[in-house]
Structure 1
């Protein structure tokens, strides 16, 4: 079974992010990926926006999983973001989002990224897990929780 923690580092956990909307969120992700992983900001931002235009990646229960394929990648990159306050995301349940997992995967897509999406959906559909996650106060605590889950 594939685990989110295998594709996430402490440096890619961003807490208390102050973004006004999805576009601002995707800009922030693009900046982070450029600074941290040397990926072109524009490619990351554009790919996430394009995917979101095809349909909301808000899963419901306060969780969103924006994802995109990038030809510039050779491995999966994951980010976990917690906005300063819940934000609108057009989720099917119309609830705002406070847990965001971004997946950037190599193009063309491989079955591994679909397995990872399924694992994230399973993990974040568990109310106990989300409550534990909400109690985490820093990046290390979140990484530990994900390692155990």
Structure 2
């Protein structure tokens, strides 16, 4: 599944301002709420519930907060960037700069895993991560993700 089919400019935050894990999750939830048609508080709650099972900070400056909601009818993707970095209980203990938020319907195990795999594949490329960190605008971030996504 292509990220370009899921990511809209409206669900991108180019400069996250929160300095805590909870704040980042709430900020990302507010960005995707209009796209998902679900209250930001409900999104944040399911993401925090998932975080309680173990951090989605996978290391290398990356976190992929994700969760499943019955009220979600299709896969929703959001993106956020923290230029300063946020302490996020990452596996490597380092600050997180790049966040991909993923919401899926409760019964969408296959789709959920395919999107996580695609995100992981792209984030293994150092130039991809660097470009996301240095991109100047939401348009630049969106365009770059779409371009890279189409090469796979």
Where do residues 85-104 of structure 1 align in structure 2 (5 Å cutoff)?
Answer: 85-104=84-103
- After TM superposition, give the deviation of residue 29 of structure 1 in Å: 2.7
Where do residues 100-115 of structure 1 align in structure 2 (5 Å cutoff)?
Answer: 100-115=99-114
The count of aligned residue pairs is: 148
Residue aligning to 1:45:
44
Work out whether residues 32 and 76 of structure 2, in 8 Å CA contact, stay in contact via their aligned partners in 1. no
Hey, what's the Cα distance between the residues in 1 that align with 2:111 and 2:28? 22
Where do residues 1-149 of structure 1 align in structure 2 (5 Å cutoff)?
Answer: 2-149=1-148
Hey, what's the Cα distance between the residues in 1 that align with 2:31 and 2:132? 22
Residue 94 of structure 1 aligns to a residue whose secondary structure is coil
Runs of at least 4 residues of structure 1 off by over 6 A?
A: none
Residue 141 of structure 1 aligns to a residue whose secondary structure is helix
Residue 128 of structure 2 aligns to a residue whose secondary structure is helix
Structure 1 unmatched ranges of 5 or more? none
In proportion to residue count, which structure has more strand? 2
Deviates more, 1:38-47 or 1:68-77: 38-47
Structure 2 unmatched ranges of 5 or more? none
Work out whether residues 4 and 116 of structure 1, in 8 Å CA contact, stay in contact via their aligned partners in 2. yes
Taking structure 2 as the reference length, the TM-score comes to: 0.90
Hey, what's the Cα distance between the residues in 1 that align with 2:92 and 2:143? 29
* Cα RMSD after superposing both structures: 1.4
Work out whether residues 12 and 31 of structure 2, in 8 Å CA contact, stay in contact via their aligned partners in 1. no
